[in-house]
Amino acid sequence: MTDDRQAFWGARPAGDGRWHAALWAPEAQRVALRVNGADTDLHRDADGAWRGTAAASEGDAYLFVVDGKALPDPASRRQQGDLHGPSILTTLRKPDPWPARPWSVAAVYELHVGTFTDEGTFAAAARRLPDLAALGITAVEVMPIAQFAGSRGWGYDGVLPYAPHPAYGTPDDFAAFVGAAHEAGMMVILDVVYNHFGPEGAYLGQIAPPFFTDDRHTPWGSAIDFTKVPVREYFIGNALMWAAEFGVDGFRLDAVHELNDPSQPDILTELSQRLRAALPDRPVHLIAEDDRNLPRWRDAGAITANWNDDYHHSVHCLLTGEDESYYASFAVDPMDDLLRALTMGHVEQGQHRPPKEEARGARSSHLPPTAFVNANQTHDQVGNRAQGDRLLTLADPGQVRIAHALLLTSPAVPMLFMGEEAGVRRPFLFFADFDGDLGRAVTEGRRREFEGFGAFGEDVPDPLALETFTASRPFTDLPDDADDWRDLTRRLLALRAASIAPLLATRRRSARAWRLGARSLCAEWRFDGGRIVTYANLGAAPDRAWTLPGADLSIAQPTDACAFAIRITR
């Protein structure tokens, strides 16, 4: 692993019982390293970083003292307690090698460590991984684990991106989780947040005010200033740590449209280049969440795939009839949008779509299907609803089953949200663990967010309540049809692994889809290696009955309102 990050940030062994420390604090007058209560002055270099060594041992507590104020290391790998106290000197073993897996075989499972099991730990989650592998899951996407305030949260308010959240376990526990996934044949994709820090415990603004800029803004305030080398190294070094030292196979990059970087190359491009240069012997998959629907990073080879919310919105509007907020443009003709998503990836590709005032996106139909991660449910689309509603509580179960089959057997990379494989109806709610005024502001803000929706009003669950968190555990009680859902998921993913994934490793030649009725479709994808033909009735029988002789998998009869069939030729 490169030492570039360590030139500006963090503590590492220097040998002979000493540790090297670095902190970029360009406006500070004095910086010391405090280890077990004893201070060692660091020296300031021309680049604004303070550096030095001190006698110390692994496990010792330390702080940086910046102009008299003792602060935790912003690159802390482990805290002694909460965000505000000492950091712990920590090293990590190198991960065991494993052959990695190509993106063409990806079938992704998104999970939140804190609610995935009753224990809410890396160790407990690791024990469940063989069950996911047996279903046919090939990649687990872990919601953010960077340490955040309190014990409960989604993880998108992290402030110490190098330190695994202690409520989940230790750094070694997360390394063991990654190792268990690899042993089960699954990749680990880590969700990381490089566009902002949480509202409590983030001291970088005090340590290094130039870390942020008032020239650009995000929904969270002043933007992170990626034009500065130490700032870039902070985040690039973070990704390198997770990949090189923990063995993580890739990253889901949160809201890259908020990175606001005018540099050339921009931070995402350099991040990709540095990861692949540091780890040339295995792939590192980068999945970007980009609300702009811009394929430029994928065109340039910087990322592997985009999260495709357009697919979700099309399916959701078709099955539920919802048309408010960002669903409005997809509610006009969700069936047509679904056809576009199946064949082109993004639905919105720069065309004007009422009732939106501005066009969004750029052409994406030239990209391979594996350039898109499609989902019927995600943490965002479930958890950002007032009641955390799962799709099975909003739509006809028969239609949801067909949508499930369509998702898992279409060429785009499918992603399930934890519990979806078992037909779980329990909610996934927004929850947090802030104290005092900040906690009250979060609770009131959540209520205000939904006050215009008469169906909710004062019934919006309090995000700070422990009950809100525990209600979000998907497997506390399973529905009666959980085994049927798991069996369906297993059969669909077995077909994907055996017959669809091999085609995805070859060039796609064409993709087309057409209506067979108001809620019925046929889709065909041709590859150099073969052909996929799919029929789906999503709530109404077709205008003209279809047949698919020799189908590899079918559900119900072609004349039924909810039916599905697929045939793959190689």
Candidates 289, 348, 420, 433; catalytic one: 289
Burial classification of residue 34, based on how many CB atoms lie within 10 Å of its CB (0-12 exposed, 13-18 middle, 19 or more buried): middle
Q: CA nearest 182: which of 122, 303, 269, 99?
A: 99
Domains of the chain by start residue, with CATH: 5-88 (2.60.40.10), 104-501 (3.20.20.80), 509-569 (2.60.40)
CA dist 239 → 100, 275, 491 (Å): 17, 8, 35
User: Does 435 qualify as catalytic in the annotation?
Assistant: no
For residues 503 and 566, give the distance between their C-alpha atoms in angstroms, rounded to a whole number: 14
Q: What is the structure's pLDDT at 449?
A: 80
* 3-class secondary structure, 200: coil
Neighbours of 223 (CB within 10 A): 19
* 384 known member of a binding site: yes
Cis peptide before 502, with omega less than 30 degrees from 0?
Answer: no
* 311 known member of a binding site: yes
Q: What angle do CA 86, 211, 172 make, to 5 degrees?
A: 40
Tokens, residue 164: 């695994």
Candidates 60, 157, 233, 254; catalytic one: 254
* 381 known member of a binding site: yes
User: Does 289 qualify as catalytic in the annotation?
Assistant: yes
CB 495 within 8 A of CB 553: yes
* 3-class secondary structure, 532: strand
For residues 361 and 347, give the distance between their C-alpha atoms in angstroms, rounded to a whole number: 9
Tokens, residue 77: 């790998």
- DSSP symbol at 361: -
Confidence of residue 458 (pLDDT cuts 50, 70, 90): low
For residues 503 and 505, give the distance between their C-alpha atoms in angstroms, rounded to a whole number: 5
Confidence of residue 455 (pLDDT cuts 50, 70, 90): very low
Confidence of residue 1 (pLDDT cuts 50, 70, 90): very low
AA identity, residue 418: M
pLDDT (tens digit per residue) in 385-435: 999 999 999 999 999 999 999 999 999 999 999 999 999 999 999 999 999
For residues 507 and 233, give the distance between their C-alpha atoms in angstroms, rounded to a whole number: 36
Pair type for strands 43-44 and 49-55: antiparallel
* 383 known member of a binding site: yes
pLDDT (tens digit per residue) in 120-161: 999 999 999 999 999 999 999 999 999 999 999 999 999 999
